Amino acid sequence: MSGDHRFHMDLGSRFENIELVQVVLKNTLDELGVEEDARDSIDLAVREAVANAIKHGNAQDPSKQVHVDLLLEGDELVIRIEDEGPGFDPSAIRDPLDPENILRPNGRGILFMRKFMDDVEYSLRPGGGTVVTLRKRLAGRNLESKREERALMRVTTRTRGDVTIIDLNGKITIGAGDIALRNAVHQAIESGVKKVLINLHEVTTIDSSGVGELVSAYTTATNRGTRLKLVNLPDKVADILTVTQLITVFDVYDSEDDAIAAFQ
């Protein structure tokens, strides 16, 4: 696969996994400085493609996976979604714009993909399955402004025994602190750390992207055999995690000493 490869994901055939793709995709597009209108178009097209791979390609078979790759080829974003099903013929889908199909409750996914992307290609996957390749030319990227925004979050890393502590100071918000948080967690995991404590005491603001990045960090850590805990949540962060019911997902502690002891 040529080009600047940005991410790869292997997902079980469950609809809830679409949200995982959306979190990673959103963060990647933010990091690339993609304009909001283009982000929305790409987001919708990818959601439809992954949903089709799960539902029509793999028939929601839990033993089959959906594979998602995103890369940058010059100024063109390329996203490939592969299923492990028996194959798919897009020409067999009824035209949802035909009068007789207008009121059908489904069948519009391919229409959306072709509407919002510059090109949509289908091919057969070696070993069985379908590959959908989505292409979108990017315009109006502003990476310099993104680099300036990242200064809104300061991240420092320290250790206590065998626990790596990531101290966050500032805003965990779209295109800024969320990227800094992601990089810090991934760096710790890639170094082989098995115990990570995220200290949010100095976090001033968190938005949905920041929450998504915490979820992504937790998922990545768990999948890699790393234990991840949160400590010193400001009231506004605790409130948001409570509203989203994520407060019961994370291991949350009021003091660093208690959190360190809980790792033992």
Position 213, amino acid: E
Contact present, 179 and 211 (Cβ < 8 Å)? no
pLDDT for res 209: 67
3-state SS, residue 37 = helix
Q: Where are the beta strands (DSSP E) in the chain?
A: 4-12, 65-73, 76-82, 119-124, 130-137, 153-160, 163-172, 195-206, 227-231, 251-253
What region does 118 belong to: left with phi over 0, alpha with psi -120 to 50, or beta? alpha
Token pair recorded at residue 39: 């982000």
CATH architecture of the domain with residue range 145-263:
2-Layer Sandwich (3.30)
| CA–CA gap between residue 57 and residue 130 (Å, rounded) | 7
Mean pLDDT, contiguous 10-residue spans, the chain (264 residues): 80 89 89 85 88 90 94 92 85 73 67 88 89 89 44 82 94 72 90 95 81 88 94 90 85 96 92
Contact present, 50 and 81 (Cβ < 8 Å)? yes
Domains 4-137 and 145-263 share a fold: no
- Domain 4-137 class, CATH top level: alpha beta
Q: What are the boundaries of each domain within the chain?
A: 4-137, 145-263
Phi, psi values for residue 126, rounded to 5°: -55, 130
pLDDT for res 64: 94
User: For residue 184, which of 216, 161, 231 has the smallest C-alpha distance?
Assistant: 216
pLDDT for res 149: 40
Q: Beta-carbon neighbour count of residue 49 at 10 Å?
A: 28
